[in-house]
Amino acid sequence: MTTNRAIVYGGKGALGSKCVQYFKAKGWWVASIDIVANEEASANVLVKLSESFTEQAGQVTADVALLLGDQKVDAILCVAGGWAGGNCSSKDLYKNTDMMWKQSVWTSTISSHLASVHLQPGGLLTLSGAKASLGGTSGMVGYGMAKAAVHQLCQSLAGEGSGLPTGAVAVATLPVTLDTPMNRKFMPDADFSSWTPLEYIAETFFNWATGVDRPASGCLVQLLTNAGKTEAVPTQ
């Protein structure tokens, strides 16, 4: 029997760990790409921290090629990312913008190239956008710019001649707030019923990976949670 395969970029983070768990429980082989190993994953590619994008991208690309050889994967889930605030007068503007770019744009760009080489025809690539970046983000400019760039990349990948395999689909998810332990720690008084559960996202990714309710390529899918119920709503 052929084993289904997935790569989770950011596989040791809260959402990444949930995706590794979920796909493994369904019998998939799952590789994690992150700065630290995920012991639950079938295999790990460790990212070496670098100030050079070309250096980091080259290292990850080479290590994934070494791991996979000529074997293809059915899904690449890029769930790496982070959050930092600050407007244009913030003393941390440069530092935070640099960090957001590394966490969101570097990882998404690398994931798109990995998909061009290692994704099966008809496979799935997911990228992590943000609902906030559909408009201005005056209090978190670095974050807003980085996520908007991810949206643009997703739409570019849907175009003819994008480099993705035949029939492959690129979809960006646009959540508001994810229900993670870290978010609960820093926002203890928030309304958790409006936060999107990680299990919902992992299950949605699995459905899309297996062809169930899969959006069209280039779709920016908002994840809207209200009173504990989440809907995936494509951006018009």
Q: What confidence tens digit (pLDDT) does each residue in 198-234 have? A: 999 999 999 999 999 999 999 999 999 999 899 999 9
Closest to 54 (Cα-Cα) out of 113, 7, 100: 113
Average pLDDT over residues 124-138: 96
User: Which strand (E) or helix (H) includes residue 77?
Assistant: strand 73-78
Kindly indicate the confidence band of residue 191, based on its pLDDT and cuts at 50, 70 and 90.
confident
Q: Measure the CA–CA gap between 84 and 99, rounded to whole angstroms.
A: 8
pLDDT above 80 (res 149): yes
Q: Are 34 and 16 in contact (CB under 8 A)?
A: yes
* pTM of the full structure: 0.96
pLDDT above 90 (res 138): yes
Q: What confidence tens digit (pLDDT) does each residue in 57-93 have? A: 999 999 999 999 999 999 999 999 889 999 999 999 9
pLDDT above 80 (res 21): yes
pLDDT above 80 (res 1): no
Tokens of 186: 């820093």
Half-sphere exposure of residue 22, counting CA atoms within 13 Å on the CB side?
A: 21
Average pLDDT over residues 29-48: 98
Amino acid at 189: D
Kindly indicate the confidence band of residue 177, based on its pLDDT and cuts at 50, 70 and 90.
confident
Q: Where in the sequence numbering do the catalytic residues fall?
A: 143
- Cross-strand pairs, 128: 173
pLDDT above 90 (res 179): no
Residues 6+ apart with CB under 8 A from 37: 12, 44, 46
Q: What percent of the chain has pLDDT over 70?
A: 99
CB atoms within 10 A of CB 87: 12
